[in-house]
Each structure stands twice: as C-alpha cells, then as structure tokens.
A and B are shown apart, each in its own frame.
Chain A
Amino acid sequence: MTSRLILIAAALVGVTIGIGAYTFVYARGYSYLTDDPAACANCHVMRDHYTAWTRASHHAVAVCNDCHTPPSLIPKYVTKAQNGFWHSFYFTTGRYPDPLRITRRNHEVTELACRKCHMELAESIDPAHTDTGRGGLTCTKCHNDAGHLE
C-alpha cells in the first residue's frame, strides 16, 4: 500500500518537474541568466523601453544589465531575482500601473551605474550639490534620455 502511494507521489513529482521544465523553456527562462537585452523584452511590457534603448546614445556601450543591475556577481543576481520575481508577479496578475515607474531601489542601482563610467565627472559635480545621489539631484534628472530615447 505504502509503496503504491510512493509511486504515485513520485510520478506526480516527476510530472510537476516536467511541466516546470517545459514552462521554463517555453518562457525562455534561461535567457534571463544572460546579458542579452532581448531577454528583457521577452515580455511585451518592456518592448517600448527596449526600442527606446536601441535608439539612445548608450546602446553601443551599455546593455540593460549594465545600468539596471549592480556590478558584482551576488548583488547582480539578487537584483535579477528580485526584479524577476516581482515583474513576473505583476505581469501575470496584470495589476500594475501605467505608465511604468522605476522603483526607488532600482533607481539607485542605475544612479550608481552612471558613476561606474562617469565617476570623474560626477565627482566634480557632487561637491556643489549637497543633495546628490539618493533622492536629490541625480544624473538621470537631466540625462533622462541617455539610456532610453524619449
């Protein structure tokens, strides 16, 4: 009796793993582990942002992950996992506002990303503005179309 139950359980676990694997492949889940910008536009909501990026000045030097994830490995994948989960959650339920707005945390990631390459420039501006960085003066306040053409 018990062994029959174990068989049923094993079969169901197998089926679930199978469907899960299929879903992962079907939804191109593996692509999210890459740096390919096209992966971010798997989901239709991001298409406009993707298109705008292809036409912006930075598209030759930076892909999505360069500006939207922190540089080192663990923070990068934590950010990816976090955004991946919430994006999937909201896009699946459909309960999210239009137009999309970057979250506070993601905006800070992006702000730091500007400084990865433009640190010298940013440092010479910072002393004049006591409110730079978090919440105050940010690079994107003026250079809003650097990443995505409006």
Chain B
Amino acid sequence: MTATSTDMGSRRGQDSAPLAVDLVGIHKNFGPVRAVRGVDLKVASGEIVAILGPNGAGKTSTIDIILGLSQPSSGHVSVYGMQPRQAVNRGLVSAVMQTGGLLRDLTVYETLEYTASLFAHSQSPREALESAGIAQIADRRVGKCSGGEQQRLRFAMALLSDPELLVLDEPTSGMDVEGRRSFWAAIRKDAEQGRTVFFATHYLEEADAYADRIVLLRHGLIVADGTAAEIKAKAGGRTVRATLPGVTEAELADVPGADSVEVRGDTVLVQSSDSDATARYLLTRTSARDLEIAARGIEEAFLALTGDDEAANSAAGTGESE
C-alpha cells in the first residue's frame, strides 16, 4: 500500500507536476462591479510570483479565490490539483493577511499552539517561532505586540502546516523600511527551501526585488506577466544616449531598434526596443561617444502599463457592460 502511494506521488511529480495555482477564465463580480474579468494564471511549484497592481485592480479578489475564501463568478480554480478548500484542509496552502486575524487576549505562543492543533500535521509552535524570528516574544499578549511583530506572528502561523504554497496579501503595508526589509529577508530565506510564494503588493520595488516573476493586474485583467526585466522591456525598452555632433534626426532614422530619435544639440537620444543593436550601430557606424543605456525604471514600466488614460478605460467599460 505504502509503495503504491509513493509510486503515485512520484509519477505525478514527473509526468504532470500539479501546478501550485491554476486559474482558468476567472471572473469575479460584486453586483455591477467586475473586479476580475477573465484571469488565466498558472504558477508552478517553487516560483516566487508577485501580483502587482494599483488599488482596485483585483489583487485581493484573486487571492481570496485562490484561498477558497470566495468563489469565482465563473471560471475554474485549482490549487495543487484540488479545490482550494481541500488544499487548505490538507495544510498545502496558507496565507499571511494584511491586517486582523489575531486574538488580542492570547499570547504569541498560545496563538501558534491554537493554530497548530487544527492541522493533521504541523510544525511545533517553537520551530515556527524560531523561523519567524519572534522566539523572544513568545509569552507576550498579541494585543501588546507592535504591527511588525504581529506580522511576524502571522508569518509564523502560516508556516505551521509547512505549506507548499504561501500566499501573502500586501504583507508589509504599514511597516517601516527596516521592518519590511527584515520581513522579506525571512520570507526569502524560507523560500530557498522550495516553497512556492505568491504575494500581492503595491510596492513596485518589493515586486522587483523579491519576485522571480511579476504579474501585472489592471482593472481585473493581466496586462503583463514576466520577469522584472521583461516587464520593463515590454513597457517601452531603453533609452540610448550618446554624444554625436553635427547629425540630424533624419540621418539617424534607420538606426536598428530605434522607436524614436531626438537630437538635442550634440546629444542624441534614441528610444530603443533593442538597445544592444542600437548601441552597436552608433559605436561602429558613427562617431558617437559617451554612450549610455538607461532602462526605464520598474516604476515607469508600471505606470506605462497600468496608468493609461481614464477616458479610454471608462469607454471600454461602458462598451463591455452594454
């Protein structure tokens, strides 16, 4: 019997490793509000994925669906090949929520003891305290803990069942810079052991620094999905700047990769979707010098991809609702 089940486990692993998260055609409506409008998303085991978007983009709605806290209006969701609720019952998925979710009159240790006792298999509360770096406040009442300490406690609670997938919904909002840094250091250290991490954030630098992959959400739709570099590239590439006296814009019109060329006195600015080709051309075919290549910041990429004009959006929205 044991041999059979191990066999099945490993076969599943090799032939069709179950996706940590598989969302297919997810829609979520709250009355007339269409919070999620057709999201398809696959997260493989071991990935660290950030879901990034402005407020109201549908991040929390998507996370609630993955956790089984809410049901999609239409579409299919599975977590490790099963219903979210089944995955939660088996301790496969756990979450660190933004606020709340703690009893003020329990101590830190008691909160972990309570949570651990609910799972079929769990780490000891002591281990979770150590992993989250809060062993020194084990006997403190939760109500007396700082915001950062409470967030560490939520993290420790989420680790108790040794989940394959850890979901974090804007876990560092309200933390100071140092708190945020050390929180992410703990998450990163934990993820090295192969845990899948899926987090929502509106801090661009967080997504850039801690995620292998960024999913950009706008008005309930995925508008970009890739590495931070890919997202930056998608949002309009790089700017190549060089000193090249006595040249006109017309002469540079067919520079490889150039989307637009601007001449300001002796300086040439080329917006390029292939900055390598542009730079190579300028350095080998012209007398350009002092060449610089600047990537658009993730912030500019984010704005370019999510911040298009309101009129177009509301027009699109009206069109769809008719």
A and B associate: no
Q: Identify the A interface with B (CB < 8 A).
A: none
